[in-house]
């Protein structure tokens, strides 16, 4: 043995082996710990991305809910910009902006909502659905007087003013304008018009049986039971009369027209105190309305009768709705809207 050199004994060899094994295990556990931490960070990132994507999709769906609520009471016309929903606050103070777009798609409205995270534009989601608006009135009927029969033996004076068709700057008539004063199912067009004054005397003749069977079906796009249910809401401006009492009040306004229904129990309408009426007046009675005195009554809108009008007294004026100086859109009332089931499958994700 050389001087100064520590002899290697079996005990020393065992200590070195133990040290090497310990260092190896330490390094292995360190690598494993780092891998686990990295995996946990990756899982957390994936979970956060999934959460953000889910929140963005929920925000887009809430945009459709917002559009449904708005379309349930507001008529939409092509080119009209819908109101934009307020931002949605998600977890961790993440804010999602929502953009709405509406377009026509056959008989429904295609509503597209796109939500994006304010902090990261790459986090976004889209939802598209078809929504049907249900309107109170049909758009194609636009006469101040709709009658299942004729005005006969007028004792006073009944004046009916149809719409005033506007002309463009070159003086050409509007091809969409139809100045119809009266819509009737009488095949002869009510030829006996003594003391009946029709301004722009165009009379449209229609077989009501082919279009639903009643005068109601010529004007209303809603059923009677549904409209009667709406009348229970005091803010609806719909009045359902079931007793034979005179109507002594004004109805509606140019901006907010009303609907006044006299059902079969109430009989023919009776007006007193010279009311001014804005909107629709309907009489369900199938018996001829006889010997009524409507003196001083003025209606801006449409009078609908399920029977002939005989021996009317007084000065009565019926104006087309456009003569009330109101926005034409105010006549177009929407009472509900509904989703079309499964319509989200009908379009691509892009608008």
What would the DSSP string read from start to end of 80-101? Answer: PPPPPPPPEE-GGG-EEEEEEE
Compute, in degrees rounded to 10, the torsion defined by CA atoms 41, 42, 48, 49: 160
Give the whole-angstrom CA distance, residue 134 versus residue 238. Answer: 16
CA atoms within 13 A on the CB side of 183: 26
> Among positive and negative, which fits the CA dihedral 130, 134, 139, 140?
positive
Which of the 8 DSSP states describes residue 247?
B
Structure tokens at 322: 């456009």
Give the whole-angstrom CA distance, residue 134 versus residue 137. Answer: 9
| Angle in degrees, CA 109, 114, 120, rounded to 5 | 175
pLDDT by residue, tens only, the chain of 351 residues: 455 555 656 656 666 777 778 778 778 787 777 877 777 777 777 677 788 888 889 999 999 999 999 999 888 888 889 999 999 888 877 899 999 999 988 888 999 999 998 888 888 899 999 999 988 888 767 789 999 999 998 999 999 998 876 644 455 556 667 788 999 999 898 988 888 888 876 888 888 876 558 999 999 999 999 999 999 998 889 999 999 999 999 999 988 899 999 999 999 999 999 999 999 999 999 999 999 999 999 999 999 999 999 999 999 999 988 888 666 666 778 888 999 887 766 655 455
Which of the 8 DSSP states describes residue 208?
G
Which of the 8 DSSP states describes residue 145?
E
Number of CB atoms found within 10 A of residue 130's CB: 20
Give the whole-angstrom CA distance, residue 111 versus residue 59. Answer: 14
Sequence spans of domains, the chain: 54-136+336-346, 145-332
């Amino acid at each position: 043995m050389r001087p100064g050199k520590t002899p290697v004994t079996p005990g020393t060899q065992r200590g070195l082996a133990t040290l090497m094994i310990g260092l190896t295990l330490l390094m292995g556990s360190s690598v494993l710990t780092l891998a686990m931490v990295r995996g946990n960070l990756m899982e957390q990132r994936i979970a956060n991305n999934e959460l953000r994507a889910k929140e963005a999709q929920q925000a887009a769906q809430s945009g459709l809910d917002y559009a449904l609520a708005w379309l349930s009471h507001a008529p939409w016309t092509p080119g009209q910009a819908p109101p934009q929903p307020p931002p949605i606050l998600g977890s961790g103070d993440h804010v999602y902006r929502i953009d709405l777009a509406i377009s026509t798609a056959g008989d429904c409205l295609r509503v597209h909502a796109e939500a994006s995270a304010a902090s990261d534009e790459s986090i976004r989601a889209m939802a598209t659905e078809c929504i049907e608006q249900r309107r109170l009135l049909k758009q194609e009927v636009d006469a101040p007087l709709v009658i299942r029969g004729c005005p006969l033996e007028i004792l006073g004076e009944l004046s009916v003013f149809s719409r005033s068709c506007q002309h463009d700057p070159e003086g050409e008539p509007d091809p969409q304008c139809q100045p119809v004063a009266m819509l009737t199912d009488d095949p002869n067009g009510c030829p006996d018009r003594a003391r009946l004054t029709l301004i722009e005397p165009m009379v449209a003749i229609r077989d009501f049986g082919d279009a639903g069977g009643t005068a109601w079906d010529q004007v209303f796009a809603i059923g009677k039971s549904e409209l009667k249910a709406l009348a229970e809401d005091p803010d609806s401006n719909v009045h359902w009369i079931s007793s034979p009492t005179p109507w002594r009040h004004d109805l509606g306004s140019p901006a907010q027209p009303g609907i006044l229904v006299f059902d079969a129990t109430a009989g023919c309408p009776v007006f007193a105190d010279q009311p001014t009426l804005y909107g629709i007046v309907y009489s369900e009675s199938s018996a001829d309305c006889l010997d009524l005195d409507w003196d001083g009554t003025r209606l801006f809108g449409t009078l609908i009768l399920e029977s002939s009008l005989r021996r009317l007294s007084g000065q009565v004026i019926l104006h087309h709705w456009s003569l009330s100086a109101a926005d034409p859109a105010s006549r177009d009332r929407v009472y509900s809207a509904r989703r079309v089931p499964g319509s989200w499958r009908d379009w691509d994700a892009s608008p």
